[in-house]
Chain A
Amino acid sequence: MSSTHRIPTRAGVGLRLPHIEEVVATRPSAGWFEIHPENFVANPRATELLQDLARQYPISVHTVGLSVGSVGGIDRQHLRRVRALIDLIDPILVSGHLAWSTHKGEYLNDLLPLPYDRETLDIVARHLREVQDGLARAYLLENPSSYVGFTGSTMTEVQFLNELVDRTGCQLLCDVSNVYLSGQNMGYDARGYLDGLPAKAIRELHLGGFTPEEDEATPGGKVLIDTHATRVAEPAWDLYAYAIQRFGPRPTLIEWDNEIPALGVLLGEAEKADAVAREAGRSEAHHVAAG
C-alpha cells in the first residue's frame, strides 16, 4: 500500500500536540510532518485535526510503542489502533524503533536496548513481519540511541540491521543524531557505521538534539543523552552531510519532543537541513565529476 502523497524532497518536522492547533490555523510552508500515533489514538480531537492536515501535507507515522524487540510479542490491540489511524491519514512512511518497551503486560515508556545475537534476530524478524502484515505496508526500523551494550552480543548493530533487512525486507530509518551519539557513548566510528548500512534500504533520515552530561559510569567523561530538547548539534550536521553523500537525498525529519520551541524554530531547523543536504549533494556531484 502506498500513500497518495509523493515522498517529499524538503525536510519535515515532528508535529507534536502543542503545535497542532497552530499548524491547522496558519498552514505553514512545511515539507511534511511526522506524528507519534500514541499521541493520537486516544485523542479524538487531535485525530480530527490531523485528518484535516493530512489532506494538505504528507504525514509520516513514527511509532514509539510497538516494541518489536519484546520477547513477549507485539501488542496486537495497539497494532490495530495504529492501523486504524494509518487508514485514516494515508501516511507516506511508517516507522518505529529497534528497541523494546513492553514486558509481561507492562509498558516501560522508554526505548530499551537489545543484545545483538541470533535469538534476538529471530524474535525481531518475526515481529517485524507481523507488524508489516498488520499494517499492510513496509515498516522502517530506526537505529537506537545507545548508552549500554551487552557482553553477550555476537554481532554489531550494523550487522544486525543488515541481517534484518535481508530476512524481512524491512527498510531503515537512519537517525543520524543517534549514530553520532551512540558512536560517542559506545566508542565506535560514526562514519564507519554509516558506511556499513545498506544504502538501498535507507528510506528516511532523522535529526534530533542531544544533551551532554557528566558520565557517572566514567569519572571525568561525558555521555550524550538523546533528549530531543535542543537544536541539532554541529557534529550531527556534519554527519548528516556525510550521510547524504553516502546515501543520496532522503526524506529528512527534525525531531524535537521536549522543551518544545516555537514552531518557527522547528521549521528553521528543517530549512537548515535542506541547505546542508543541497551543499552535500553539490559536493558529491563535484567528487563524481572529478573522479
Chain B
Amino acid sequence: MLPLADVQQRLRNAVVADDFRAAAPLLIGGVDATRRLAIHRRHYETSLVAALMGRFPATAWLMGTAPIEDAARRFVHIHPPTAPCIAEYGRHFGVFLAAEPGAERVPYLQSFAELDWHLGRLAVAVDLPAASRDEVAAVPPLELANARLTIQAGTHYVEASHPIDDLIRFYLANDAPERLELPDMSVWVEVRGARGAFRFARLTPAAFAFRASLANGLSIGDSVARAWVADASFDPGAALALLVDAGLVTGIDGQWAARN
C-alpha cells in the first residue's frame, strides 16, 4: 500500500482537479470505482457552488444567476477552501469575477461582490457593548496617539469608484428601477450590520481614512495621519468623539490599557 500521504494526494487530485488516473488503481467499488469516487467530486463541487451562491446573492441578482454559477463552478476547483467554516469561503471570489471575460463592462463588479460577501458577515454580527467617552478620555493625552481602538466587528469600510451602496440598497429593498446608470463617482462607505439589519453611511474621504485605518488595527496617531493626507483640515478630536458617540468603539488597547 502507498503511504497515506500519497493516497490522499491522489484522491485530492481527483476531487479538486478532476484527475482520476492516479487514484484508479487504489480503489474498489463496482466495476469502475473511479465512477464511485466521482460522487465525492460531485459533492465537493455542488456543495461549494451552493455555498458561494448563498454568499453572493446580490451579485447573482446584478449579473444573473447562470454566469455567477458558471464562474463559481470554475472557482471552486482553482481555489479550494482553506478552512472548515464554509460561511467564510469565497472572500476573493470578487477578484475572480472581475477577471472573467466581459467583466470590464461592469467596472464596479469586484467592489460590489466584495460588499455582497461582507454583508453576509455583517448580517450575523452582534453589537458588543460600546466604550463611553469617559473611558476614552481616561487614556492619558500623551499615550492617545499610540492607542489602538477595537471597532465593532459588524462594521465594514468600502471605497468604490461607483455608488455601489445605492445599488445594494436597491437589492436589499427588492426595489430596483427597470434601468439604472451608475455614475462614475467615488464613494466612501461605512456599513454597519447586526442581527440581520444594516445601516449605510457615506463618509468624507478623511473620515473614511480615519475610521477604516482604525478598523484595520492602526493606532489613533497613524489613523489621523492617513486622514490628514486626505484632508489637512481634518479634526481628530471631533472625529474621535463622533466615533465613540456612534457606539463603534468596543475596546482600547495600548501601553496605558496594559498598565490598567
When the two chains form their complex, are residues A39 and B87 in contact, meaning their CB atoms are under 8 A apart? yes
B187 to chain A, nearest CB (A): 27
How far does the alpha carbon of A104 sit from the alpha carbon of B48 in the complex, in Å? 18
Instruction: Given A44-B153, A115-B4, A119-B3, check contact A108 B88 (CB 8 Å).
Output: no
**Could you say which of B39-47, B65-73, B162-170, B251-259 contacts chain A?**
B39-47
* A218 contacts the other chain (CB 8 A): yes
When the two chains form their complex, are residues B85 and A215 in contact, meaning their CB atoms are under 8 A apart? no
Instruction: Given A48-B126, A107-B84, check contact A150 B39 (CB 8 Å).
Output: no
Return the chain A residue nearest B85 by Cβ: A42
**Could you say which of B21-29, B137-145, B229-237 contacts chain A?**
B21-29
* A199 contacts the other chain (CB 8 A): no
Of A45, A105, A109, A223, chain B has the most CB atoms within 10 Å of the CB of: A109
When the two chains form their complex, are residues B83 and A151 in contact, meaning their CB atoms are under 8 A apart? no
Which of A75, A123, A221, A225 contacts B30 (CB under 8 A)? Answer: A221
When the two chains form their complex, are residues B80 and A148 in contact, meaning their CB atoms are under 8 A apart? no
Of B25, B84, B126, chain A has the most CB atoms within 10 Å of the CB of: B84
When the two chains form their complex, are residues A106 and B126 in contact, meaning their CB atoms are under 8 A apart? no
Return the chain A residue nearest B40 by Cβ: A110
When the two chains form their complex, are residues A43 and B5 in contact, meaning their CB atoms are under 8 A apart? no
Instruction: Given A39-B87, A107-B84, A108-B44, check contact A115 B29 (CB 8 Å).
Output: no
How far does the alpha carbon of A81 sit from the alpha carbon of B83 in the complex, in Å? 12
Of A104, A110, A185, A219, chain B has the most CB atoms within 10 Å of the CB of: A110
Residues on the A chain within 8 Å of B8, using CB: 70-71, 100, 103, 112
Residues on the A chain within 8 Å of B64, using CB: none
Q: Which residues of B (59-111) have their CB < 8 Å from a CB of A?
A: 80-88
Of A45, A67, A78, chain B has the most CB atoms within 10 Å of the CB of: A45
Residues on the A chain within 8 Å of B9, using CB: 103
How far does the alpha carbon of A219 sit from the alpha carbon of B30 in the complex, in Å? 9
Residues on the B chain within 8 Å of A151, using CB: 25-28
Q: Which residues of B (1-28) have their CB < 8 Å from a CB of A?
A: 1-5, 7-9, 11-12, 15-16, 25-28
Residues on the B chain within 8 Å of A108, using CB: 12, 15-16, 44, 80-81
Residues on the A chain within 8 Å of B3, using CB: 71, 119
Which of B12, B28, B194, B196 contacts A149 (CB under 8 A)? Answer: B28
When the two chains form their complex, are residues B124 and A45 in contact, meaning their CB atoms are under 8 A apart? yes
Residues on the B chain within 8 Å of A217, using CB: 29-36
How far does the alpha carbon of A223 sit from the alpha carbon of B16 in the complex, in Å? 22
Residues on the A chain within 8 Å of B15, using CB: 108, 110, 112
Which of A101, A123, A148, A221 contacts B33 (CB under 8 A)? Answer: A148
* A152 contacts the other chain (CB 8 A): yes
When the two chains form their complex, are residues A107 and B1 in contact, meaning their CB atoms are under 8 A apart? no
Residues on the A chain within 8 Å of B158, using CB: none
Of A65, A78, A107, chain B has the most CB atoms within 10 Å of the CB of: A107
Q: Which residues of A contact B (CB under 8 A)?
A: 38-39, 41-46, 48, 64-67, 70-72, 75, 77-78, 81, 100-110, 112-115, 117, 119-120, 123, 146-154, 185-186, 215-219, 221, 223, 225
28 pairs across A/B with beta carbons < 8 Å?
Answer: A39-B87, A43-B87, A43-B124, A44-B124, A44-B125, A45-B124, A65-B83, A75-B83, A78-B84, A101-B84, A104-B12, A107-B81, A107-B84, A109-B47, A109-B81, A110-B47, A112-B40, A113-B11, A115-B26, A147-B37, A149-B29, A151-B25, A154-B1, A215-B35, A216-B38, A217-B31, A217-B33, A217-B34
Q: Which residues of B contact A (CB under 8 A)?
A: 1-5, 7-9, 11-12, 15-16, 25-40, 43-44, 47-48, 51, 80-88, 121, 123-126, 153, 194-196
